[in-house]
Each structure stands twice: as C-alpha cells, then as structure tokens.
Amino acid sequence: MAKFDERDDREANQDDRACSIQDSLDILGDRWTILIMRDAFRGVRRFDDFRRDLDIARPVLTERLKRLVVAGVLDRRLYCERPPRYEYRLTPMGAALSPTLVALMRWGDEWLTDEPPTVLVHETCGEPLDQAFVCWHCDETFTQSAIASRPGLTPTT
Amino acid sequence: MAKFDERDDREANQDDRACSIQDSLDILGDRWTILIMRDAFRGVRRFDDFRRDLDIARPVLTERLKRLVVAGVLDRRLYCERPPRYEYRLTPMGAALSPTLVALMRWGDEWLTDEPPTVLVHETCGEPLDQAFVCWHCDETFTQSAIASRPGLTPTT
DNA sequence: ATAGGTGAGTTCACATTCAGAACCAAGTCG
DNA sequence: CGACTTGGTTCTGAATGTGAACTCACCTAT
C-alpha cells in the first residue's frame, strides 16, 4: 500500500489521487476503529467501558485510542485529577463521522438484519428520518438510488 | 469477536443486540474490503484490475472477493466462456453501500485533504449535492449537525 | 508448433498484528 | 493493612497478511 515503485500512471485518469476514501480508511480502516467510534457516539468514554463493551484486547484498545487521538478524532482529557483518570471524547472531527456511521447502520438494518431497524426519528415530530442527497439549489431531495452522476465515485458505469 | 462465552449481559441495556453497524462491519470491516467496494463503484470489475489498482496481495484479494460474493454484495459472473474469465459486479445490496462510501468520502474531503473535495453534483442542474437527513413528514432537511435524537446511536449525550 | 503473454488463482515461507494472560502503578475503600 | 479499580505495559503463541513463485487454461505472434 505504500510502495508504488513500478506503477505506471494508469490510475491517474481514473481519479488522479489517492482518493479521500482511502485517506479516511487510513484512520478508520481496521477491524476495531469504527466500532470504537460507534461506542463513542453512544456516549462511551472510558477505557474500561470500551474494553468491556467491545471485548477488545487491552493493548489493541490502547493503541487504537492513541491513534484516534493523534488523528484528531478523539480527545483524551483528564476528568479526575487525583486518581488520574482519562476519558475519550469525540472532537468535532469525530462527530462529523455521524453520517458515515448512520449510513453503515442503515445498510446493516436494511440488508443484514431481520430485526426491526433502528429508525432515526425527527425530534420535533417523531416521524422517521431518512438519509438522502439534497440539492439546495433545486430544493430537491432524493435517496441514493436516484443519484446518477458522481465524479470520482462513478456509478456502475 | 466471535467468542463471547464469558460475557454477562452487561451490554443488553445499552442496545439490546449486536447493532447493525457491527453486522455491516462483519462484512466490510477489514483494511481492504471497503477499498474493493470503492473500486467496484468506480467500475472496476476484474480480478487483476482490483489487484493492480489496490496493490493488494493476490491471496487476500481472492479471499475478499469470495467473501463479498458469499455476503451477496458482489456477483461473480463468467463474462467470457472460452478462456474462462470472471467479473465481479455490484449487486443491489452492494450498490446500496453508496451512501456509506459517499459519507466516508465527504468526511475525508472535509477533514483530511487540502485538495478540493470531490463534489457530487445534481445531474439536472449541475449544482453541488449535499448528504443530509430528511423528514418526509415535515418536509424538512438538515445536515448531521442539526440532528439530535437517534435511538441506538445516541449522540454525545 | 513453439514461445511468450494474460487472467485468475493457489501454495509457500516469512513478517506483522492480534489475543489473552500476567504484571504494574496510583490511588481509593473498608 | 490488603483488596479493588482504572488505565495501562509486557510477554508469548495464534491468526492474518505479505510477496514471490508456481499452476492452469487459453490466446497471439512467429
């Protein structure tokens, strides 16, 4: 993934750079990190709570949290001085992952589970929310099936 | 991740099941799979094209593609009889991952890259699209920052 | 007809990463 | 005092990933 010595620039016409999905996955792309983020969204903040909830090996959790803090996605802060205790909180950058996690969740709900999906509801009216694409210009909204042209992420072509 | 023998049901109060994010990650959750899917969205279909584009080890690619086919996300079909050649195409289930990939891409664009983001444009008007939550009932649209209550994926609490 | 090339793998030896258990440190509670 | 908690680190085998070489079926050029 790092050694592209013998590559001709075949891929340059396709997307002219490593693609930001790859960049995102450099931070999130291992078996645990997204689950850690999911827990963080749920409000989990402490080392042992992550560990217990995920059933993850301690050294791995230590390393992942460190990476996430370095990446700027979590913030490690002392929440108790005298027995020094830390908690990990979402930074704005981490919180910005919510659409990604929601999309993953909805996909799993739709295609993988028989159980009733976790619906997101509109706080003010209690009706279910949908995740969609919106064109502020035309004031049109459409779900993914209706979107056709996406430069850099071309559809089935 | 599979052996929960000694777990008490501590997590039952939090979300009463494995959570569909976990289910999704059982399929997508390793360093390569999401990149493979991204390539599939871009129109890559053949073994060697995936291999070259991703610079992934052959055995791993073989195994990943097999898993994705079993999972129902890709479809392996013979596209040439006499030298038997296969191609891997997105199934509807695979295509349904588009919001997830878009969300990942947008996150990477916004937080990780200095380069101009890949904007998605509305085909009919050419204006940039946004990914958002929409309440069909109130006919209101809001981006993730404005969403507050999500059962099962509670915000920062 | 033979030599070389390609697509799609498999097999193998080696390196990295992960898991699980034990250990440690700093503080707190009984 | 000793036990317990949180948040780690260190260690050792197991699992996984890596790259190189090999296979097999076919195709193309000479």
In order of their start, the domains of chain A are 18-146 (1.10.10.10)
3-state secondary structure of A82: coil
Residues 6+ apart with CB under 8 A from B11: A52, A53
Q: Beginning with the edge strand found earlier in the chain, give each strand of the sheet holding A140-142 in spatial order.
A: A140-142, A129-135, B129-135, B140-142
Residue of higher predicted confidence among A126 and B95: B95
Spatial separation of the C-alpha atoms in residues B47 and B84, rounded to whole Å: 13
- Quick one: average pLDDT of A89-109? 93
3-state secondary structure of A107: helix
How does pLDDT run across B103-156, given as a tens digit for each residue? 999 999 889 877 666 666 676 776 767 777 777 777 777 765 545 444 444 444
Q: Please check the confidence at residue A14 and state whether its pLDDT lies above 50.
A: no
pLDDT of residue A82: 73
Mutation pick from B10, B22, B24, B110 vs chain A, by most beta carbons of A within 10 Å, is: B24
pLDDT of residue B46: 92
Residue of higher predicted confidence among B2 and A33: A33
How does pLDDT run across A118-141, given as a tens digit for each residue? 666 666 776 667 777 777 777 777
> Given CB atoms, is B36 within the 8 Å cutoff of chain A?
no
How does pLDDT run across A44-75, given as a tens digit for each residue? 999 999 999 999 999 999 999 999 999 999 99
Q: A5-43 burial string, b = 16+ CB within 10 Å, else e?
A: eeeeeebeeebeeebbbbbbbbbbbbebbbbbbbbbbbe
**Alpha-carbon distance values, A64 to A52, A73, A93, B31, B139 (Å):** 15, 11, 16, 14, 40
pLDDT of residue B78: 86
Which bases on strand D have an atom closer than 7 Å to a protein beta carbon? 5-11, 16-21, 25-27
Lowest mean pLDDT: which of A26-30, A150-154, B93-97?
A: A150-154
Within window 21-60 on A, which residues have Cβ closer than 7 Å to strand C? 30-32, 55-60
Percent of chain B with pLDDT over 90: 45
Smallest CA–CA distance, residue B66 to chain A, in Å, is 18
Q: How far is the CA of B82 from the C1' of C4 (A)?
A: 20
